Structure 1
Amino acid sequence: MPIAAGVIAELEKLGYRACVIPLERLTALENEYRAITSREVWRNSPHLSRHHFDFAPPPDFPARSVLIVAAPVTPVKLGFTRHGRHYAFEVPPLSADHDVDLERIVAAVTSLITPHGYGLIDANVPTKLLASHAGLLENGYNNMGFIEGMGSFFRLSAFFSDMPPGTAVWTEHRVSRSCEVCRACSESCPTGCLGPDGYDVGRCLSLLSKEASDFPEWVHSRWHNSLIGCRICQQVCPMNRELLDTAGTGAEFSETETGAILAGTPFEDLDPATRDKLRYFHLNTYYNILPRNLRLLLDREQADLS
């Protein structure tokens, strides 16, 4: 068995999915990515424009391939208490548990390739776009990636390696055929960003909620549904149906902690336990918008109760 195929098979035994792509494919990928990011909506978005990638390995590493690995994640909610009432809101599944996955992935791969004289280093490439072309994932009409058995709940990691890529798949970046007969996401999208002409990122609530600027006037307060981003299209997608039931509450924030966040207390002045919980779910990177988004969700829930 070619070594790349052996790596993919071993990772699948561990519950991951993977693909190996020839390094030469990165040239075309970079051109495609530059075309995407040249659009005005991308250039004008602080969140989107902060993404920067390296389309070549370090000059001192003789890479021949790129390894992309998908690790499943569990949908998660965080609990908050305000005025004696408990609330639970969804957050992106970005917990520090992924660090454990990364350690397992690197250990498994290096144990297979090191005896053959090959190495592995981290790669900073647009993983979703690369995984789409390699057939690792399918693209939903909602611009999300989907993998059988994982739905849209996975995280991608990338590595440069000097192992040969073997026989690699390369396909066009296109929407899944299953989406052609299903419009659950477009029919449920409150902002209408999933229209007949495809995905309009400028109207996507998931993007708007990550920007520090004020929401456009046309965004209704009742549309907010997640601490960061928007989960509506994922919640209604048939490819996620069996996975949503696994969602649990990952952490609880007391009345005092909730009040401190709502007050916009500087992150470094929060209670250490509060900071640790926010860091664990990578919310420290979104802390500048977290008080606003949390208040919107709490106000919506309290309006429903009144």
Structure 2
Amino acid sequence: MIPNDPATRPIDFLRGMLIIRKAEERLARDFKSGSLPGPVHLYIGQEAVAVGVCSQLGARDWITSTHRGHGHFLAKGGDPAAMFAEVYGRRSGICGGFGGSMHVADVSKGILGANGIVGGGIGLATGAALAAQLDGSGQVGVCFFGDGAAAQGVLGEALNLAALWKLPLILICENNGFSEFSPTGRVIAGAIFERAQPFGVPARRVDGNDVEAVAAATADAVTRAREGGGATLIEAITYRLHGHVEGESAFLKTQYRTGDEIEHWRRDDPIGRFAALLEARGELDPEGFELLEQEVKKIIEAAADSAGNDPYPDVDSLDAHLLGAA
């Protein structure tokens, strides 16, 4: 759905972010209506990171994701209908309906998968980068991970190996201000991007709500990786406008962020901000944005409605997905 092309036009950035936003808004409504089989962790507010990064990747480049992985899946070209079907637990889901919201993957598009293990994708992306290096394919491995995962030991291990072997690895930390329900400053010491310094790995911090800034930083990292220069760590400062998980108010006894804080970040919404920038540059008018939003919403609603009508997996097929099954 989003062209993976370094020459992506500004309107494609906007369209890509809208695809993610409308998909997540649909899932938010589905959760509230009780029509989902389980919880969902939504990406609303962070769209500029996924779109900015994936716009600089080719179809054969690898990405690994997080429990908040719908945005990465869609930005890398994943099929919205197959994603919805997976979240709904339907047979036509991208993982046959057996993975669910936290395990969307499509290896044919370089999407090695989301997972529920904090920092779980870091080692996978490092392995993908090593494989690309050994193959001489020119591919890169990209890992999306959150600020909470920056405290996992695997990050240091990956930086060490990437520095020693000059792996074509790009580490994207989406610092959205919270590790589940804890403010980042309470659980993470120091600046995350500076963790690469002892290993001699280039690193930078960018405005994660500025899709063009994210794309520019990624372009530099991709060029360096493809030319044999090794890894890069990028810390993108962003914010999740929804909670850690939909429905969290049902079990949280205390409020962990204020309404004023959420509204402050809502005014910096990456979609509205970029649309306003395009209008100021004369590349978009309000009517054009409304038409684009309507077009994207129609596509997403059709994909979700279609997926919701698909059959569930056959019970007899369950053992085909179990390790060691005949």
Fold match, TM over 0.5? Answer: no
TM-score normalised by L of structure 1: 0.27
Q: TM-score normalized by structure 2? A: 0.26
Give 1 or 2: higher helix fraction: 2
Larger Rg: 1
| More strand per residue | 1
